[in-house]
Amino acid sequence: MTDFLGMMKQATQLKSKMDALQAELDQIEVDGTAGGGMVTVKLSAKGELRGVKLDDSLLVPGEKEILEDLLIAAHADARRKADALLQDKMQALTGGLPLPPGMKLF
């Protein structure tokens, strides 16, 4: 019975740590860039879009598709950085214990 109680205590501690991590991820921001820094996208570590910066030289009539492609590339860059950060934080939280494939905690 003590093993079960110990597991329950660990689960409660993990839940508390997860709640703290959720709050921390809301505060962390990552930048993704494209076009040599001409487009910058800012995301929270949870993937929420926080800002977009465009170089004035991109605001040329008739070149809308280039800007659209750069926005997508910058967002993908920021998303990769956010995912890597989240993975590092989760490994630290779970002590490197691997989660089953497809299991998402956020």
Instruction: Write down all domains in the chain, each with its CATH number in brackets.
Output: 26-94 (3.30.1310.10)
Q: What are the angstrom distances between the C-alpha of 2 and each of 7, 12, 72, 97?
A: 9, 15, 52, 22
Q: Could you give the CA distance from residue 93 to residue 87 in angstroms, rounded to a whole number?
A: 10
Q: Is the pLDDT reported for residue 101 higher than 70?
A: no
What pLDDT digit, counting tens, does each position of 46-100 carry?
A: 889 999 999 999 999 898 999 999 999 999 999 999 999 988 888 887 776 655 5
pTM flag (> 0.75): no
Residue with tokens 């597991």: 7
Residue 44: Cβ-neighbour burial (10 angstroms; 0-12, 13-18, 19+) = middle
Extract the tokens encoding 44.
């929270």
Q: How many CB atoms lie within 10 A of CB 97?
A: 9
Least confident stretch, 13-22, 26-35, 86-95, 96-105: 96-105
